[in-house]
Amino acid sequence: MRKENNKNLNYEEEKWHFSPLDIILTSIFTLAFIGQFILLFIYNNELNLKYLEYIGYGLWGISIIFAILPMIILKRKGKAPKGKSYIHTQKIVTTGLYAIVRHPQYFAGIILTISITCITQSWISLILTVLIIILTYQWTYSEDKSLIEKFGKEYEEYKAKVPRLNPILGIIYYFIKRD
C-alpha cells in the first residue's frame, strides 16, 4: 500500500493507491486468516495436547490486549482530531505499549494467528501462520516508511529505540533506558 501525500491536501483527504501486488498479497492474507478461523471448527486440538491448547487461549487473550489498547492510547495521546479515528494521530506516541513495540496491532495479529495454531494443532494452520507472519512483517516495513514520511526525524529516532514487533526485546530496552 502506498499513500500519496500531497502537501495541498489535508491529512483526511490523502489518497491511497494500491498496486496489483498489494491487492494480491492482501487477498492471500485475508484468505489465510479466514482459513485459520475455519480450521478452529474443523481441527480443534488435533494432536490432543491440552497444554498447547491452553497456551493458545492465553495467547489469544494477549492478542486482544495488543489489538484494543492501541486504539485507546492513540486516540487519547496521539492527538487525533475530534470526531476522527485513532489512525489520524498527529503526534507520535512513545508510552504504554508503544514503548515496547512500534506496531502493537500487527503484533496482535501475529499472536492471534499463533494462538489459533496452538488451539487447532494442525499443520495446515501452521503453514497459514507462517504465511501470515511473513506478510504482516512485510507490511510493518511499509508502515514504517509511511510514518517516517509523516513524522520525519522524530519517528526515525523512535524507530531506533523501540523494536518493530519484539516485545521481549522491547521490555529489555525499556528497563535499560530507565536506568
The pLDDT-based confidence of 169 (bands split at 50, 70, 90) is: very high
Q: Comparing C-alpha atoms, which of 150, 147, 177, 144 is closest to residue 161?
A: 177
3-state secondary structure of 49: coil
**pLDDT at residue 177 above 80?**
no
Q: Supply the mean pLDDT for the chain.
A: 87
- Count of domains observed in the chain: 1
pTM over 0.85: no
If you average pLDDT over residues 50-79, what whole number do you get?
93
Q: Tell me which range, 80-84, 93-97, 131-135, is most confidently predicted by mean pLDDT.
A: 131-135
Alpha helices in the chain (DSSP H): 20-42, 50-77, 104-120, 123-151, 153-161, 167-178
Give the pLDDT score at 3. Answer: 46
* Residue, of 162 and 3, whose pLDDT is higher: 162
Contacts of 162 (CB under 8 A, 6+ apart): 94, 98, 99, 100, 101, 102, 170, 173
The pLDDT-based confidence of 57 (bands split at 50, 70, 90) is: very high
If you average pLDDT over residues 119-131, what whole number do you get?
95
3-state secondary structure of 43: coil
Q: What is the pLDDT of residues 25-46, one digit of tens each?
A: 899 999 999 999 999 888 777 7
3-state secondary structure of 15: strand
Extract the C-alpha cell encoding 106.
Answer: 500487527
How far is the CA of 85 from the CAs of 23, 70, 88, 108, in angstroms?
24, 12, 6, 19
If you average pLDDT over residues 41-62, what whole number do you get?
90
For residue 122, give the amino acid letter.
Answer: S
Tell me the residue range of the domain where 139 lies: 2-178
The pLDDT-based confidence of 16 (bands split at 50, 70, 90) is: low
**pLDDT at residue 174 above 90?**
no
**pLDDT at residue 166 above 70?**
yes
